[in-house]
Amino acid sequence: MFNNDNGAPRQMVQGNWTCSDCGKEITELPFQPSGDRPVHCKECWAKKRSEGRSNFQNRAPRQMVQGNWACSECGKEITELPFEPKGDRPVLCKDCWRAKRPARF
């Protein structure tokens, strides 16, 4: 029978590697690294994981375009937009944009 790791602590592999990110010495890993794969220390590994997760959850903030427009609905001044508006397209302020959108998000 295979020993599936049902919450049991993983067998650590002892050795001597160098973190490919920060160059720190690594003396144990939770897996046997294959020769051509980069190896990361615990800190870099955790950093990479948390970065990946946060990117996945709240995506990268959109680049805002700074400028000076008037809302085509209410005439309010708009100083930034999440996109570069085309000359012939009406520009809406956040409130009007939200109002025009279908309520169910």
Q: For binding to Zn ion (CB under 5 A), which residues are involved? A: 19, 21-22, 24, 41, 44, 71, 73-74, 76, 93, 96
Name 80's bridge partners: 66
Q: Among residues 48 and 53, whose Cβ is nearest to Zn ion? A: 48
User: Least distance to Zn ion from the beta carbon of 60, Å?
Assistant: 24
Contact in structure between 78 and 93 (CB atoms under 8 Å): yes
Q: Among residues 5 and 25, whose Cβ is nearest to Zn ion? A: 25
Q: Among residues 53 and 94, whose Cβ is nearest to Zn ion? A: 94
DSSP β-ladder status, 25-29 and 65-70: unpaired
Contact in structure between 33 and 40 (CB atoms under 8 Å): no
Q: What is the DSSP string of 38-59?
A: ----HHHHHHHHHHHHHHHHH-
| Calpha distance 40→25 (Å, rounded) | 10
User: Least distance to Zn ion from the beta carbon of 101, Å?
Assistant: 13
Q: Among residues 24 and 59, whose Cβ is nearest to Zn ion? A: 24
User: Least distance to Zn ion from the beta carbon of 20, Å?
Assistant: 8
